A and B are shown apart, each in its own frame.
Chain A
Amino acid sequence: MYNAKAVITGILIFLVLCTSPFWASRTGKDYTKTGIVLPKDEKNCVENRDFMRAEHMRLLNEWRDEALRRENRLYTATDGRKWNISLQNTCLKCHNNYKEFCQKCHVANSVYPYCWTCHIIPGEKNQ
């Protein structure tokens, strides 16, 4: 092998960079569950569980547009139930703990939505 020193250094750097997802995931904590605390007194959200988990941001976006741009405060869910379109009065009524609910997934997945630039973070005022 020619220029063995440089080539072997290069191969080692390549190895370290390419395996980075594998060793980087061991540098911090484990992440085996979200650790979310669901509201105790309510079993069903606006839509079904899988939809809310994956698409809640879409629903929130639509609600914002409906309430603020079209002045429509009534949302009919797929199962026919009617909801008052309001983050503060509908969503946060059950999901009233930011630290145990929103933050659990959002911080772990580096999601920083700008909800709280206008809305009051639930559970903050008590502290």
Chain B
Amino acid sequence: MFISLLLVLLIGAIAWAGSTAGFSSLFGVALPCAAVAVFIGGMIWRMVYWARSPVPFCIPTTGGQEQSLDFIRQEKFDCPSTQGGVIVRMFLEICLFRSLFRNTSADVRADMPGNNGPGTIYYSSKWLWCFALLFHYCFLLVFLRHFRFFMEPVPCWVTWLETVDGIMQVGTPRFFMTGGILLAALLFLLGRRVFNQRLRCISLLNDYFPLWLLIGIVCTGICLRYFDKTEIALVKVFIMSVTQFSPDSDAAKNIAPLFFVHLTLVSTLLAYFPFSKLTHMLGVFFSPTRNLANNSRRVRHINPWNPPKQFFTYAEYEDTYRDAMAEAGLPLEKAPDKAAE
């Protein structure tokens, strides 16, 4: 955990030192462009790799009663048997994290009622679902809000989003709730790994690193907006020059180093993305446990790497051995004299 924190701090420190020392075009232009290229290339490579992998068996996870006799009610979305059901299931999974919603926590009780002794009890556990959902949606909204730096004039949906986000009108610049919730949700997701002993045991560097990286991005972003501000008109000039591939290095010189720390951390996230567990963003679409219909009793699932079958039908068999069979007096579908015709 501390190694990944140190890594993130190191990346931030390098970006800070670099942009103060005058390499702001390196951290502001070259690195983000390279990171975006790595991100897009890496993710496409991932998707092609997944799409080339055969699915030998029909392996959807079942979350309820499968399709059976007419009088048994089927859980149509948790155990879909049709393509439409799969689409609904995928929608619920991707937009509402349905499988996390079903999360339970197990606990052993010394005295279970009705059990005459110890027994296991399962509680519904919605914390992870709640904070995961908050994190993902706030992150999406924060990303969308950043389009005010990419587009001129600022589209009305961004302004509308900002109005709703800052509706409490706290402070100047107005406090955006999504930023605060994003940080809180990330701290929960980190705290979960730190304070839950079982989770801590299975958490590795590649679990902590994305969390610290995201916390770093959110903290520098919040800092840039509320505490150590830089001139955003200049930031917009610079960002629009970069997205149009004609970087404005004069603007880059006058932007605070903290902005480049923010940008470098985002670039690190983008470049790290395709090689980490964060690929679940696209991996969820490719999961055979989610995107297959549970219809293995109705539709034959053919393993794509099965070799082509060598069939030898009875007609061919009889054609091959007809004379010998006739000699042995075996019954034939076609007599030798008729087959010769």
Q: A110-B158, A112-B159 are in contact. Are A57 and B172 (CB under 8 A)?
A: yes
Quick check: B237 and A1 within 8 Å, CB to CB? no
Contact: A1 with B51, CB < 8 Å? yes
A31-B237, A34-B233, A113-B172 as given contacts; A25 in contact with B154, CB under 8 Å: no
In the complex, A127 has a CB within 8 A of chain B: no
Task: Looking at the assembled complex, report how far the CB atom of A20 sits from the nearest CB atom of chain B, in whole angstroms.
Answer: 8
A10-B47 CB under 8 A given contacts A2-B54, A25-B240, A61-B172: yes
Determine whether A67 belongs to the interface, using a CB cutoff of 8 Å to chain B: no
Answer whether residue A116 sits at the interface, using C-beta atoms and an 8 A cutoff. Answer: no
Residues on the A chain within 8 Å of B236, using CB: 31, 108-109
Instruction: Tell me the bound Cα distance from A28 to B150 in angstroms.
Output: 10
> What number of residue pairs across chains A and B have CB atoms under 8 A from each other?
118
Contact A111 B40 (CB under 8 A): no
Q: Which residues of chain B have C-beta atoms less than 8 A from A50's C-beta?
A: 231, 254
Assembly CA distance A47 to B150 (angstroms): 30
Residues from chain A with a CB closer than 8 A to the CB of B52 are 1-2
> B231–A54 contact, CB under 8 A?
yes
Q: Which of A19, A33, A110 contacts B148 (CB 8 A)?
A: A110
The distance in angstroms between the C-alpha atoms of A8 and B173, with both chains bound, is 43
Q: In the complex, A109 Cα to B146 Cα: how many Å?
A: 10
B30-71 toward A: CB 8 Å interface, digit per residue (1/0)?
A: 000000100110011001100111110000000000000000
Distance A38 CA – B169 CA, assembled complex (angstroms): 29
Decide if B172 touches A24 in the complex (CB within 8 Å).
Answer: no
Please give the number of chain B residues whose Cβ is less than 8 angstroms from any Cβ of chain A in the complex: 48
Q: Which residues on B sit within 8 Å (CB–CB) of A1?
A: 48, 51-52
Residues of B within 8 A of A3 (CB): 51
A30 at the interface (CB under 8 A from B): yes
- Contact residues in A for B47 (Cβ distance below 8 Å): 7, 10-11, 14
A27–B282 alpha-carbon span in the complex (Å):
27
Q: In whole angstroms, what is the CA distance A57 to B148 when docked?
A: 19
For the complex, what is the distance from the CA of A27 to the CA of B44, rounded to whole Å? 25
Contact B55 A32 (CB under 8 A): no
Q: Which residues of B contact A (CB under 8 A)?
A: 36, 39-40, 43-44, 47-48, 51-55, 147-154, 158-159, 162-163, 169, 171-174, 229-234, 236-237, 239-241, 243-244, 248, 254, 256, 282, 285, 304
**Can you give 7 A-B contacts (C-beta < 8 A)?**
A2-B54, A31-B236, A32-B240, A33-B237, A53-B234, A110-B148, A112-B159
